[in-house]
Amino acid sequence: MASPRPPFRTLSRAAWLINARRPWTCTACRTGAPGRFQSGVASTTENLRKPYYVTTPIFYVNAAPHVGHLYTMVIADIVKRWQILLGNTDAQLLTGTDEHGMKIQQAALAAGMDTQAFCDMNCRTFESLAKAANISNDHFIRTTDPAHHDAVQYFWEMLNHRGHIYTSKHEGWYSVSDETFYPQTQVQNSLDPTTGRKRMVSVETGKEVEWSSEINYHFRLSAFQDRLLELYNRPNSFITPSKYATAVIQSVSSGLQDLSISRPAERLTWGIPVPGDETQTIYVWLDALVNYLTQAGYPFPPGQEKLSIWPANVHVVGKDIVRFHCVYWPAFLMALDLPLPRNVLVHGHWTMNREKMSKSTGNVVNPFFAIDRFGVDGMRFFLSYQGGLPDDADYDNSFIIRDYKKWLQGGIGNLAHRTIGCAKGKLRSYIQDAMSDKLPVVTTADAEHEAMLVSTPLKVAEHMTGLNPRAALQEIMSIIEKTNKYFHAAEPWKSPNPQRVLYNVAESLRISAILLQPFMPGKSRELLELLRVDTSNPAKRAFSATVYTSDPDYGEDIGNAILFPPLLTDE
């Protein structure tokens, strides 16, 4: 797309900046490396033939979802919606539920329910959460789906056929809660804080472990140490943020043990049987990880592998499941010569009073109650603005109220209300003046603000290229903050010639509303409709439309509205 004509003959430096702007291209594309986010223009043959594929982890249905699950969904949804904003309209998002394993078996027993009925009940809760949070998932997968059952057994048979599986006696510390074995170096003595009982727990998760000795199947994980280290050290980061990559590299460099990938059926019946051996059940994490392939059409028909949506462009996961997604999963794929996911985006946990939220301890926030209280976009904003990627973030209702009042009600809402009121609903006339070069002479403050509007969308795009939605959202909100200050300092309501200021403020709102669509899809749509940005032309609401002065057609017959009404309670 050609750069638009600068609308002001008198605008020297700002006009130069506007005219110099080119359609955005991510850093990786400019340097010739494969890009993760591109402005609708593929840089590789692969990107021409497959949709952008984003996944959440599949969520365990042993208990109801909490706000941490909501956060994961929202981050993945933002990544997917950003691709739509760039013009990649076939981008796809997968979420779903993990319904096998000992925890499910025990939880159903404790509830006095049939295991499948228990899974059906809790699965519907996660589906309802995705709907309540306005998650744009294209698919919802369940590990109890017949297609997934077949895909997992085929995956197992291929691993076995290639000699990657063998039987052996396995001894070690097993955590039912974590569904995994831990070596002696990864467990420690601990006192139960509620009972004072001595117990062994995982160093990593703090969950109780018990000694187990059994014959089962093993995957030759140790054979993939060198290839995994090569993956972690490639130029385009496999794990984001780098903090987690460093920890994984240190762990893998210290050596890998082969992985137990089955459990005796006498102990675990609720799962997928090992093909040809009904006495063993496939390890829940091998079962669960294959879901990403199942949805992509695995097993792929001969010659059709490259027509699938696989590989995933981004797996979004919490930091507690990094090892499964960044060690086990790529090793499984390497064993079958299947393409690897492009990136694993890891986020920290939400805490309450600096303690990790946990379904097992009841230290959780009900996400449905939070959405009802603060609104879906209010919650999406808070989680994406304050949520931690390299670090944890603390959750408190007072924090949400604070951010709602400051950034949404007092920021976006107040700016829109004051702008429309000052223009008396006639923003269209100021836009027409801008397009006809009839605005007053530019001041230093005007030039600085206009230059900011030129540069900020590019900064937002760079943050999204780096898989940092939080930094991207903070950059967008800087437009609102700076525009409020610019508007207040200029006092256009006192000026005989307020046209340039009101036009710049209108452009600030329009550009911000476009950029906010992945984060707050409902409220950004309301703002775009309030500004009368054309609904019939998707290009008017795409990333390419964030170019300053690029839309001459909005602002007709604007009425005022309250975008962010007061919350029902501030307690």
CA 128 to chain CA mean position, Å: 18
pLDDT at residue 210 in the model: 79
The CA distance from 112 to 106, in Å, is 10
What does the domain layout of the chain look like in residue ranges?
Answer: 12-26+398-546, 34-394
The CA distance from 183 to 425, in Å, is 68
- Whether the CB-CB separation of 253 and 230 falls below 8 Å is answered with no
Parts of the chain with a pLDDT under 70: 1-49, 176-179, 193-196, 358-362, 569-571
pLDDT at residue 303 in the model: 80
- Whether the CB-CB separation of 170 and 163 falls below 8 Å is answered with no
Q: Which residue has the tokens 């059906």?
A: 120
Q: Please count the other Cβ atoms lying within 10 Å of the Cβ belonging to residue 147.
A: 13
Cβ burial, residue 265 (10 Å; 0-12/13-18/19+): middle
Number of H helices, E strands in the chain: 22, 18
Cα torsion angle, 32, 35, 40, 44, sign: positive
The CA distance from 470 to 13, in Å, is 31
CA 78 to chain CA mean position, Å: 6
The CA distance from 312 to 538, in Å, is 26
DSSP-assigned letter for residue 536: S
DSSP-assigned letter for residue 275: T
Cα torsion angle, 199, 202, 205, 209, sign: negative
The CA distance from 37 to 25, in Å, is 9
The CA distance from 560 to 291, in Å, is 47
Cis amide leading into 299 (omega within 30): yes
DSSP-assigned letter for residue 410: I
Helix, strand or coil, per DSSP, at residue 422 = helix
**What are the percentages of helix, strand and coil residues in the chain, rounded to 5?**
50, 15, 35
Give the pair of three-digit tokens for residue 32: 């010739």
Q: Please count the other Cβ atoms lying within 10 Å of the Cβ belonging to residue 302.
A: 6
Cβ burial, residue 526 (10 Å; 0-12/13-18/19+): middle
pLDDT at residue 269 in the model: 92
pLDDT at residue 206 in the model: 75
CA distances from 170 to 36, 153, 181, 258 (A): 41, 22, 9, 10
CA distances from 568 to 401, 560, 564, 571 (A): 11, 22, 12, 9
Residue 277: closest CA among 288, 285, 266:
266
pLDDT at residue 27 in the model: 35
- Whether the CB-CB separation of 39 and 84 falls below 8 Å is answered with no
R_g of the chain, CA atoms, integer Å: 26
Strand partners, 280: 264
12-26+398-546, CATH topology level: Isoleucyl-tRNA Synthetase; Domain 1 (1.10.730)
pLDDT at residue 46 in the model: 45
Residue 450: closest CA among 428, 480, 483, 474:
483
The CA distance from 213 to 414, in Å, is 65
DSSP-assigned letter for residue 312: P
The CA distance from 523 to 409, in Å, is 12
- Whether the CB-CB separation of 285 and 179 falls below 8 Å is answered with yes
pLDDT at residue 141 in the model: 98
Residue 239: closest CA among 151, 137, 327:
327
DSSP-assigned letter for residue 145: S
Question: What stretch of H or E contains 251?
Answer: helix 242-253
CB environment 64-85: b (16+ within 10 A), e (fewer): bbbbbbbbbbbbbbbbbbbbbb
Cβ burial, residue 392 (10 Å; 0-12/13-18/19+): middle
CA 192 to chain CA mean position, Å: 35
Query: Could you tell me which residues come within 8 angstroms of residue 32 by beta carbon, excluding any fewer than 6 positions away?
Result: none
The CA distance from 399 to 413, in Å, is 19
The model's pTM: 0.87
**Angle in degrees, CA 58, 114, 96, rounded to 5:** 15
Name the superfamily (CATH) of residues 34-394: HUPs (3.40.50.620)
The CA distance from 377 to 269, in Å, is 42
Give the pair of three-digit tokens for residue 103: 């925890």
Give the pair of three-digit tokens for residue 371: 């959405």
